Structure 1
Amino acid sequence: MEPVVTHVPNEKENDRAIKGRGTSEAAWQSTDQLSTLPEVEPETLVPVGARAVIVAPHPDDEILGTGGLLARLSDLGRKVLIIAVTDGTASHPDSPEWPAARLAATRPQETRDALQRLRMRHVALVRLHLPDGGGEIFESDLSRALEAHLEPGDVVFGTWRYDGHPDHESVGRAVTAVAAALDLPFVEVPVWTWHWATPDDSRVPWSRARRIVLDEATLARKVHALKAFRSQIEADGSTGRDAILPEHVLERLTRPYEVVLI
């Protein structure tokens, strides 16, 4: 997820910056903006015979953005392919406790543990090992990889093109372009949007937003899966930095529904 980034490249103004604590979940819940979004069922998003392809910029993004959806799709017997773009080695800069080599070994294992906690069936995982923080640098390589792995009948999910993190936005742009070229449906997933946006924010395409409602058991599976990412949810004792995913961030991403843009 990589919240160390505090700028968005190629923007005239830094209006989607990831800094501070962001918009609180209490602020989001103080209005009916999210609770009144139209609902969409997983079986509608991914019909019988289709495969869901989740393109995750970093290990944990697939669970943060679509963990509940993944659990529901598994229960429906849908096939799932997760394309892990990076290994998340830039999450702890200059950390003696979490050097890049340790992160490269640990974070992919955390994803595997998380998928087991979700009780996923019919899931395949492809790792591209592109540079974490590469953003536009890896965009062309990602596009070529997507062309090689996507198939007719796929429904592709990726982070929103304007999510605020350069890697998330590069993934969104690459997947949008490749899915369009292959005539495949693409569903965008906001992750960092809930940090910088506000309930009345006109930059968010609310007309495209839909809720995937999670029952209590499904939400519990998602929360259990997120606890597998110990490198991200525990403070760094060697630097004194807070967790990469502190409670106020997780609160925004463990609602009883997930929001997608269709």
Structure 2
Amino acid sequence: MNSKLFAQKPVDDGGTPESTWQEWGRSFPELDLTGCSRLIVVAPHPDDEILGLGGTALLATLSGIDVHVVSVTDGGASHPDSPTVTQPEMEHLRRSESDRAARVLGIPAPVRLSLPDGKIRENRQELTDRLSSILGDSSTGTWCASTWRGDGHPDHEATGEAAAKACADTGSRLIEYPIWAWHWAEPDHAAVPWERARRVALPSDVQAAKSAAADEFTSQIAPLSDHPADAPILPRHAMERLLRPYETVFV
């Protein structure tokens, strides 16, 4: 949907600074979790669940909601030209990182579907079917939180589309969380459904726990070596947009 907008703004160029978002000053209603007894957080890659919705997942857990994470891929394609780490080694690293991050937040380790990283759209029907099986009977108050269908990253958008179809098939409630939209979009950007936005305020201890969990993803936030192909996927300016004292979802 918005992959061209994302492609036009390379991550290294910085994108929209966090200071611009903070100066915007637009407020959104708080997300009401009433009626949610089970929250399934769907992450295209290991780390999306923490960076996009880690604080909300922790708050839900603390309020007695049964929280689980589904990791669609193992994230092996993050550094395709790395001279340091092979794809199987990267997959192992990222699985280990997300397991540690889950322990920091006190949520179960992710359920891993191990679909090919970078090829979720080609496997969207399989993902839809597997998510439908996981969501099951919506009469139990199941909500599904997935990356936004318009996030720009092809894997994020395809995951959101599969989650939306699975929710339609099972009657589960869908909420969507943006990650890369904060990079390529700007305040009041017409491609973003701001009217559907809801905010989750994170108390200081929850924000600190999310930050600590995010620190586990060293393969993504720190260089693997001095080689240009080993540069961080999530440089500091990207992390600033994802470690705010609040999270935003679309309902």
With the length of structure 1 as denominator, give the TM-score of the two structures.
0.89
Q: How many aligned positions are there?
A: 243
Please give the secondary structure, in 2, of the residue aligned with 1:16.
Answer: helix
2:29 is aligned to 38
Matches within 5 A, 1:3-14: 8=3, 14=4
2:197, 2:250 within 8 Å by CA — same for their partners in 1? yes
Segment drifting more, 219-228 vs 20-29: 20-29
1:88 is aligned to 75
Matches within 5 A, 1:238-257: 239-240=227-228, 241-257=230-246
* CA distance in structure 1 between the aligned counterparts of 2:114 and 2:30, rounded to whole angstroms: 35
1:16 is aligned to 6
* CA distance in structure 2 between the aligned counterparts of 1:124 and 1:76, rounded to whole angstroms: 19
Quote the offset at 1:27 in angstroms.
1.0
2:172 is aligned to 184
1:142, 1:174 within 8 Å by CA — same for their partners in 2? yes
* CA distance in structure 2 between the aligned counterparts of 1:115 and 1:135, rounded to whole angstroms: 23
Quote the offset at 1:64 in angstroms.
0.5
2:152, 2:180 within 8 Å by CA — same for their partners in 1? yes
Amino acid paired to 2:250: L
2:153 is aligned to 165
Segment drifting more, 136-145 vs 166-175: 136-145
Quote the offset at 1:238 in angstroms.
5.0
2:22 is aligned to 29
* CA distance in structure 2 between the aligned counterparts of 1:124 and 1:16, rounded to whole angstroms: 30
Please report the RMSD computed on the Cα atoms of aligned residues, expressed in angstroms: 1.5
1:143 is aligned to 128
Write out per-residue CA displacement over residues 38-81 of structure 1, whole angstroms, 9 at most, x where no aligned residue. 1124x43x53xx21001100000000000101111121122112
1:95, 1:238 within 8 Å by CA — same for their partners in 2? no
Amino acid paired to 1:190: P
Q: What 5-or-longer segments of structure 1 have no aligned partner?
A: 1-6, 9-13
Please give the secondary structure, in 2, of the residue aligned with 1:146.
Answer: helix
Please give the secondary structure, in 2, of the residue aligned with 1:178.
Answer: helix
1:54, 1:156 within 8 Å by CA — same for their partners in 2? yes
Quote the offset at 1:230 in angstroms.
0.8
Quote the offset at 1:16 in angstroms.
3.4
Change (3 A) 1:233 1:16: closer
Please give the secondary structure, in 1, of the residue aligned with 2:247.
Answer: strand
Seq. identity, %: 41
- Give the counterpart of 1:57 among 44, 54, 60: 44
With the length of structure 2 as denominator, give the TM-score of the two structures.
0.92
Runs of 4 or more consecutive aligned structure 1 residues displaced over 6 Å after TM superposition: none
1:11 is aligned to none
More helix by share: 2
Segment drifting more, 148-157 vs 83-92: 148-157
- Give the counterpart of 2:206 among 218, 236, 247: 218
Q: What 5-or-longer segments of structure 2 have no aligned partner?
A: none
* CA distance in structure 2 between the aligned counterparts of 1:37 and 1:230, rounded to whole angstroms: 32
